[in-house]
Structure 1
Amino acid sequence: MTSKHSPARRTLAVAAAGAAALVLAACGGGSDTSSGHGGHAAATPSTAASAAQGRHNAADVTFAKGMIPHHRQAVEMAELAATRAESPEVRKLAEDIRKAQGPEIRTLSGWLSSWGEDIPAEGGSDHAAHGAEGMMSARDMARLEKSSGKAFDTAFMELMIEHHEGAVAMAEAERAGGADAAAKQLAGDIITAQTGEISLMKKLLGRG
């Protein structure tokens, strides 16, 4: 008896399972747009992994590797203003630069690490790139370190304008050729912030 009715029971079980699957599919299809992001298919594991890693190219790497020493030097210049600047406006500007660019250095370094790239070493090697996109030479930095009062204010702004112009050029290159969305966003932020600071410094120097 058991062997005679077993196939029938198996057939009914399969049919019931199939019906349940259809009901669940009907309940979930079309009514819950959040799971499919407005009708788009959910990401496959491989797609999700690619999205998590992000897409970047050589321009993104060049931007990060160039901007890190560039920002380090700007922070070094800004730190001098705390004890050497006479103008409250210059001290405030220098502090704004330091507060903005320090975290950006950490962000850029994190990207390079996630991309499997080396982070530029700190130290004198930063000065070796002077002349590249507004980087100051060791002589420029020595001149700034020896200045104080109004002479420091003038030297700081003149050198920082050149420095900022270099950063803007680097950021524009990233915006034009980069692939990583976050890097391009940071480049846009740098352009906006430093263009505004260039205008302020020119105004303080009486050239705006």
Structure 2
Amino acid sequence: MQHRGFRFGFAAIAASALVVSACSNGSTDSSSDSATTSAAASATSSVASGATAHNGSDVMFAQGMIPHHQQAIEMSDMLLGKQDIDPEVVSLAEQIKSAQGPEIEQMQGWLQEWGVGSTPPGDGTMPGHHMPDHQMPHGGGMGPMPGMPAGGHGMMSQADMTALQNAQGPEAGRLFLTQMITHHEGAIMMAQREIESGQFPAAVDMARSIISSQQSEIDQMRAMLAG
């Protein structure tokens, strides 16, 4: 009887050891799974953060280019509302509208994603001034905002816009081309600065596209004026 009791006691100890071992293995597996999940989440977060990384140049580019594009669309609308305009000039104005409208929406989306307003704070200077969290290279701002005197990266003054509004026929077409060449040249300058200093890949890509498309349109407009 005593021998049989010893067997039962030994069997119980062995069973307990198996249970403890199973629990230990389960705990190890759980910890391993948790560590793997945590690492994957960290990697995903890092990728997402890298995809949205931006700097002050990107903010300045979007905040400056949005009103610049908006004025180009306004100028195009003025022309398209007139009679006796050269069909080539009408086609160009429609082309400008179709290209720049979607770009405005895209840039507004970036600013919303970055938690930044569409217009810069401060005294009417371009983005880059008064932005301690987005220090700008090369000394900051890019010139006057809309409403300021003409000459700020090709922006038309109110007098320029009034002249275009009042012009009619072929003269309106010539004035539109002359003003838009200056306007496009300003956009190219802004885009070049973004390529040099920007960090957000989509913004840099847009800047390259603006330089390519608007330089092509400048060449086209100069040819129209010469013709």
Q: Which amino acid aligns with 1:142?
A: T
Instruction: Give 5+ residue unaligned stretches, structure 1.
Output: 22-40
Tell me the number of residue pairs that the alignment of Structure 1 and Structure 2 aligns. Answer: 185
Shift of 1:129: 5.9
Q: Which has the larger radius of gyration?
A: 2
Identity of aligned residues (%): 40
Aligned: 1:153 with 2:173: yes
- Give the corresponding residue for 1:105: 104
1:163 to 183, 193, 201: 183
- Give the corresponding residue for 1:120: 119
Shift of 1:81: 1.6
Shift of 1:118: 1.0
Aligned: 1:60 with 2:58: yes
**Worse overlay, 183-192 or 126-135:** 126-135
- Give the corresponding residue for 1:89: 88
Normalising by structure 2, report the TM-score.
0.73
2:217 to 197, 203, 208: 197
1:3 to 12, 17, 21: 12
- Give the corresponding residue for 1:48: 47
Q: Which amino acid aligns with 1:186?
A: M
Q: Which amino acid aligns with 1:205?
A: L
Cα pair distance change 1:187/1:9, threshold 3 Å: same
Instruction: Give 5+ residue unaligned stretches, structure 2.
Output: 1-7, 31-39, 121-144
RMSD: 2.8
Distance in 2, matches of 1:131 and 1:141, equals 13
Shift of 1:206: 0.7
- Give the corresponding residue for 2:192: 172
Normalising by structure 1, report the TM-score.
0.79
Shift of 1:173: 0.4
